[in-house]
Structure 1
Amino acid sequence: MEADAGKGFGCQKIMDGKANDGANALDKAIIPSCCLKARASDPEVDAKCHSTVVSGWFSEPLSSTGIIFNFLSSAYARKAGKRVYFNNPMWPGFCLIFCIFQLALWYLFTSKHYREAHSLEVERILYKEKSEYQEILVFESSTYGKVLVLDGIVQLTEKDECAYQEMIAHLPLCSIQSPKTVMSTSWVLVVGGGDGGVLREISRHTSVELIDICEIDKMVIDVSKKFFPELSMGFEDPRVQLHIGDAIEFLRCAPEGKYDAVIVDSSDPVGPAQELVEKPFFETIARALRPGGVLCNMAESMWLHTHLIQDMISICRETFKGSVHYAWTSVPTYPSGVIGFLVCSTEGPPVDFIHPINPIEEIEGALKHRRELRFYNSEIHKAAFALPSFVKREVTSLRSNSSSPAKRICVS
């Protein structure tokens, strides 16, 4: 969120009746961004003033900045037959250019953490509600199919979700021996992952007998089941046990050495999710893993947060005592177009993450279970650990640094 965005405008309230579809209604429906309440249906003309603005939302009313921008926005809206507002006044120039040259409805998402903006052309809005924890939006895009957005941040799209879901699941699970040869029962824990995509991929591994998933927001699960059946099919696996609640508390209560693998599919480490990249959280995971057990944790973009990645690697080397590696993949709709993964193993049987001991191609039925693999294969697995030179230097420099890692990691 952009704190106190739009406070420079006087708060206006439109009290002269509901907006209609006529062009003249646009002249009456000019509301500053601090006073807009985004809706997927008809606008609420008597909107409340907001002290914060969620980046990257749009709605039926038209918002603008300054007299010239108001005029051009109105002209654009009449020509395009659509009403759009951009609720981040940090981007008036971009919005101005947008209104002049574009003839479609777009979703603009920005972030003060990434300091960049992206946009997707919108076909239609399918869902928009606020859960106990976050705002949930689903819309149909022209290029990427249906899109899931949480608190203004794109989580997945139908077109490129495979690159993330398949990699975060198979990087760890293909790197350990078939768990049945190690223990009488095998357990995998998923932290987050309410869309079900990680479950769908874990279910390809027949050696996994039970899958726990701990998701704090049940509404995310319900929305995924309604709008993303190709992801939420993971919940249909009889091995899945769903737990609604706080993952940190869930891990604290887990028996020591219970899991063969833990996969953390969390949101960006800001706000309450900050705890998910700090040492106490990793310590609870290490305690819950068996000797030689593995963790795969979402680990941001190497282009944007090398310091965060450095801190996470330092903490995990100190905590897990086994192998620690950074891998990455390409996801076009994520900031910078890439996302990273931190894979770690606890002290015990050595784990070679780079050369998978349990290749997906050799697992019976795995390649076409429920649907064909679209992104992951053994070659992609190995290539994911090939790092650009600047990242290799940053990671290598940690080996000679004997100072203790910071207890708190800042994303900024």
Structure 2
Amino acid sequence: MIVDGWFHERGQLWPGQAMSIKVEEVLFEGKSDFQDVLVFRSSTYGTVLVLDGVIQVTDRDEFSYQEMMCHVPMNLHECPRRVLVVGGGDGGVVREILKHDTVEEVVLCEIDRMVIEMSKTYLPGLACGYNDPRVSVQIMDGAEYMRQHMNYFDVIITDSSDPIGPAETLFQQPYFEAIASALTENGVMCSQGECMWLHLDIIKPTLRMCEKLFPSVGYAYTCIPTYPSGQIGEIICSKRQLDVSKPLTQRTIPDLKYYSPEVHSAAFVLPEFCRRALLEEEAPSGDP
């Protein structure tokens, strides 16, 4: 992965392309019970966390992903008090959730303890919420935890890696069924939704599956330089009928760098190739 001082990301889900970042210093390299873990200090993106060879987060651009994954679903609920994050061991989504003054309880359910520990050590700007008394951590399978907490959470956010390895089950129907059961009557969910330039063949069936479980479903996207093709999507679902592209609330949220009510709405306006592909009866190929 590191050759001549450069880290090269070559993922199974984006063949024929690579992302390269110059490495200044390797801070940690090891293997957890689930995946390879690499942390390094880069020349231009600050500290970088890599799992199984795939970039998960960097100091420079993490805010665009964390803010949109959090504030889009949180602002579609009038009073989110109990929030569950599945995955997201770096702590960034938890950090953003805690900016909402309605929040009373946040549970982070992460299967890999090493991701949390490495983030606390090397990414303290993301992992700063772990000491908040409203936050608890469960090291276990997210779907199993949700089955133990039916009709409990107002918002559930799945901050997952790509659907290979330990995150594969987070893109399958039983997992989304568990989310629907664990949400309260007006609950909202957000799930990492892959890249429209590469993964329409994953995005479309996932949306169709969610439409069977939730009355309101939408796909939004975020710009982020270090994710494949510079874009990542999010699947937004609500257990009540509403327009997910329009925030229900205008809560004052401090220290935002990316999210705004206007960006919230604009994120659901898809380029024509993507909009048409998601409306087709047959699942499209991964190419636009």
TM-score, scaled to structure 1:
0.67
For 1:251 and 1:118, how far apart are their aligned partners in 2? Answer: 35
The answer to whether the 8 A contact 1:270-1:411 is kept is no
Correspondence for 1:382: 265
Correspondence for 2:50: 149
For 2:242 and 2:85, how far apart are their aligned partners in 1? Answer: 20
Correspondence for 2:230: 337
**Is the strand fraction higher in 1 or 2?**
2
How big is the shift at 1:226? 0.7
How big is the shift at 1:253? 1.7
Q: Secondary structure at the residue paired with 2:10?
A: strand
Q: Is residue 14 of structure 2 the alignment partner of residue 114 of structure 1?
A: yes
The answer to whether the 8 A contact 2:28-2:40 is kept is yes
Measured on the aligned residues, the alpha-carbon RMSD in Å equals 1.8
Q: Secondary structure at the residue paired with 1:380?
A: helix
Letter in 2 for 1:341: E
For 1:169 and 1:218, how far apart are their aligned partners in 2? Answer: 22
The answer to whether the 8 A contact 2:26-2:40 is kept is yes
How big is the shift at 1:280? 0.7
For 1:214 and 1:272, how far apart are their aligned partners in 2? Answer: 13
Letter in 2 for 1:250: Y
The answer to whether the 8 A contact 2:219-2:236 is kept is yes
The answer to whether the 8 A contact 2:197-2:286 is kept is no
Q: Secondary structure at the residue paired with 1:319?
A: coil
Between Structure 1 and Structure 2, how many residues are aligned?
285
**Is the helix fraction higher in 1 or 2?**
1
For 1:201 and 1:112, how far apart are their aligned partners in 2? Answer: 30
Corresponding residue to 1:187 among 82, 107, 110: 82
Say if 1:339 and 1:243 are closer, same or farther in 2 by CA, change over 3 A. Answer: same
The answer to whether the 8 A contact 2:8-2:20 is kept is yes
For 1:353 and 1:136, how far apart are their aligned partners in 2? Answer: 35
Q: Secondary structure at the residue paired with 2:126?
A: helix
How big is the shift at 1:178? 2.1
Cα deviation 1:244-279 (Å, max 9, x = unaligned): 11112112222x211111000011101332211111
How big is the shift at 1:344? 0.3
Q: Is residue 202 of structure 2 the alignment partner of residue 301 of structure 1?
A: no
Letter in 2 for 1:124: E
Correspondence for 2:117: 222
Q: Secondary structure at the residue paired with 1:385?
A: coil
Equivalences for residues 245-324 of structure 1 within 5 A? 245-254=140-149, 256-320=150-214, 322-324=215-217
How big is the shift at 1:129? 1.4
Q: Is residue 222 of structure 2 the alignment partner of residue 352 of structure 1?
A: no
How big is the shift at 1:411? 9.4
Correspondence for 1:22: none
What stretches of structure 1 move > 4 A for 4+ residues in a row? none
Letter in 1 for 2:219: Y
Cα deviation 1:160-179 (Å, max 9, x = unaligned): 00010010000100111124
Residue identity (%): 45
Cα deviation 1:304-337 (Å, max 9, x = unaligned): 01011000000000012x1100000111001111
How big is the shift at 1:113? 2.0
Letter in 1 for 2:13: H
Q: Report 1 or 2 for greater relative contact order, CA contacts < 8 Å, sequence distance ≥ 6.
A: 2
Correspondence for 2:69: 168
How big is the shift at 1:189? 0.5
Q: Which has the larger radius of gyration?
A: 1
The answer to whether the 8 A contact 1:198-1:234 is kept is no
